[in-house]
Chain A
Amino acid sequence: MRIVGLAGSKVGSKTRTAMDYVKESVERQYPDHTFTLIDLSDNDVEFSDGRNYLDYKGDTGYVAQTIMEADAVLIGTPIFQASIPATLKNIFDLLPQDGLEGKIVSIYATAGSDKHFLIPEQQLKPILGYMKAQIVQTYVFLNDEDFLNKKIISDDVFFRLDRLVEDTMVLTETYRQIREAEDAKYDF
């Protein structure tokens, strides 16, 4: 299966630091699957202008097409101004309305304050639901105290992220089986 780790910001380091660990965790626990890390700070992505995602070129086309080809997308997002960053919202705007249909999407958020704990629930999940994603309901929330000098220092963060990876992979595999069983009902 194709898993994409999407680090959704151009600013800061916590989201990427956590994503590096997620990558390591997927590759350690699920070596047979492909993990592609997309860090939006490494990609020059245009703002959506409404065209079909296949018509974008360069980094924009690469990012949109890689996500569309994925079976699962693990999103890491910081919280900016009590919401998701515009860079991440733009990714959704680049994709078709039901672009996440049939995909498993899971989330971790990094924030400067625990007051933001419900932001993914109230602002990110509705977008994913509208785009027809199968959402891993439990997300991981990380704050400043979990990091030092671009390293994760809270030990429990590792097993919380490991569990998020496991939940993502279990749901992806389960959903694939459900879909195969559903498709087998039709003789075409």
Chain B
Amino acid sequence: MKYGLDPSNGLEFGLYTLGDHLPNPSTGERIPASQRLNEIIELSQLAEQAGIDFFSVGESHQDYFTTQAHSVVLGAIAQATEKIKIASSSTIISTLDPVRVFEDFATIDLISGGRTELIAGRASRTGNFELLGYSLKDYEELYEEKFNLLRQINEQEVLNWSGNFRAPLRDAHILPRPMHGELPIWRAVGGHPASAMKAGYEGVPMFFAALGGPVSTFKNTVDTFRQAAAQGGHNPDELPVSMAGFFYPGETTQEALRESYPFFNEGMKKTNGHGFSKQMFAQGADPRSVMNVGSPQQIIEKILYQHETFGHQRYIAQMDFGGVPFEKLKKNIDMIGEKILPEVKKHTKK
């Protein structure tokens, strides 16, 4: 399969951070931004040591976030690590210049020795539009135009292009070029099946964020993506799917729920406006829920069930959300490396 995914490696397992910078809910204290950024970089190293396949950093322009310049953070990670794949999750291409984004990511790719991928999204919170001088009215058009330009730059070293939201390119030679010729570029998809359909029709692999709810609901979107790919003349078997969502392991499921609830609940309240009811959160431990919170055994079963349902090639876990202390993250990475990863790989290798 294209996009550097090897079925003999089983389901790829990754970590992602949105770079949130939230107070620890139990103390109300917030670490300095410098510490948070350095801990994210260290987290990527720990992930690599634990055998995790992938690490990515997102871009959010709003209060309580600290990786607005996510490509700069990825540059540091490219140098701090040696073999783990690195990516954005996601780059809000709508309000950036695709030429500049490509230059940045091709550079990160060269520094990292060809380990870099790019996931381009449309933004769920939209403060970046005003901040960076765009109109929210152009939400759809901006994304489609800029995402297509980014893909063209990826495929052609020299190009001629004109559009509505950027000055035209005439015989533009866009450098540097990535190590393997092209960067793996994915489309980030949130809740809307419409976005999954666009990814499918265009033959672009999909990164799908599924934060909470029944696995069956998200299955519809994955099916929609593959159907649209077939209708668009692409082979769905050649288009990988990545799933992204909340993750938190504990020694027991009860411990995982007890420890993680304040982080997720308070974090969602501050960044999205409302938290989780305890009832809904407790259901997160159920195998039918997409949220991967529980004991290592419970999480293994959930990931395998999701793999069976979605047939995805990569799962990425968000486990640092809401001010989780770094000591805790280290412990959780150990749990992934020692208990979760070996089982997931054993059952998904082909």
Judged by a CB distance under 8 angstroms, whether A96 is at the interface is yes
* Stretch in A27-35, A45-53, A137-145 touching the partner: A45-53
Contact of B125 with A by CB under 8 A? yes
Establish whether residues A52 and B125, one from each chain, have CB atoms under 8 Å apart when the complex forms: yes
Given known A96-B273, A96-B274, contact A55–B261 (CB-CB < 8 A)? no
Pick from B254, B259, B261, B279: contact of A182, CB below 8 A.
B279
Whole-angstrom distance from the CB of A111 to the nearest CB of chain B?
A: 33
A186 in contact (CB, < 8 A): yes
Q: Is the CB–CB distance between B136 and A49 below 8 Å?
A: yes
> In this complex, what residue of B is CB-closest to A179?
B277
| Interchain CB contact under 8 A, B136 and A51 | yes
Q: How far is the CB of A55 from chain B (nearest CB, A)?
A: 5
Determine whether A188 belongs to the interface, using a CB cutoff of 8 Å to chain B: yes
Contact (Cβ within 8 A) A188 B274? no
- Range, interface on chain A: 10 to 19
Q: Give which listed residue, B137, B273, B278, contacts A183 with CB less than 8 A.
A: B278
Complex CA–CA separation, A183 to B279 (angstroms):
7
| Chain A residues near B279 (CB-CB < 8 A) | 182, 186
Contacts of B62 in A (CB 8 A): 54-55
**A183 CA / B257 CA spacing, docked (Å):** 13
- State whether A54 touches B257 (Cβ < 8 A): no
Q: Given that A52-B124, A186-B257, A188-B257 are contacting pairs, would A68 and B282 also be in contact in the complex, using a CB cutoff of 8 Å?
A: no
Task: Determine the residue in chain B with the shortest Cβ distance to A95.
Answer: B273
B348 contacts A by Cβ under 8 Å = no
B258 at the interface (CB under 8 A from A): yes
* In the assembled complex, B126 has its CB within 8 A of some CB on chain A: yes
| With A55-B127, A188-B282 already in contact, 7 other A-B pairs whose C-beta atoms are closer than 8 Å | A51-B136, A52-B124, A53-B273, A185-B278, A186-B279, A187-B254, A188-B257
Q: A-contacting residues of B (Cβ < 8 Å)?
A: 62, 124-127, 136-137, 139, 254, 257-259, 261, 272-274, 277-279, 281-282
* A residues with CB within 8 A of B: 49-55, 68, 96, 99, 101-102, 182-183, 185-188
